[in-house]
A = this chain, B = another copy of it.
Amino acid sequence: MESKQAVNALAALAQETRLAIFRLLVQVGPSGLSVGEISADVKTSPATLSFHLKEMVHADLIEPRQDGRFIFYSANYAQMNGLLGFLTENCCAKDGVSCLPMTKGKCVPTPATKIKRRTANKP
């Protein structure tokens, strides 16, 4: 994933309603939910909901699937995992000593790393 794509995905998640929708869909799994079902969970007008769904599709975080009169939206897990990987990429790589090995995708610095003091002359 590259930076602009990541910014788009993050912006798509950085909104109360959209974040709720995304988490809902992540929990539901690949089968997804129709707009009507989603609207039962988040309180907003149809127009606003449509706007938010469009934003998320555009950011490639969710995918629409037409089924009769309904459109089912499901989470794009690949994109989500790509985003998480992008954020944690090369965690503590320039430090080398203060990080524990990545566990469960988390970046975990050692608790009490001694921070070297740097004088005014040389940052």
Contacts and interface: CB of A to CB of B under 8 A. Distances in A.
Nearest to A113: B30
Contact of A98 (B10, B29, B90): B29
Given A68-B120, A91-B26, A105-B106, A31 B84 contact: no
A88 B84 contact: yes
Interface string A100-120: 001011111100010111111
A94 to B, nearest CB: 5
A4 interface: yes
A117 B66 CA distance: 11
A51 interface: no
Interface in A8-67: 10-11, 13-16, 19-20, 22-23, 26-34, 36-37, 65, 67
A30 B109 contact: yes
Contacts of A113: 29-31
A29 B58 CA distance: 33
Interface in A69-92: 69-70, 77, 80-81, 84, 86-92
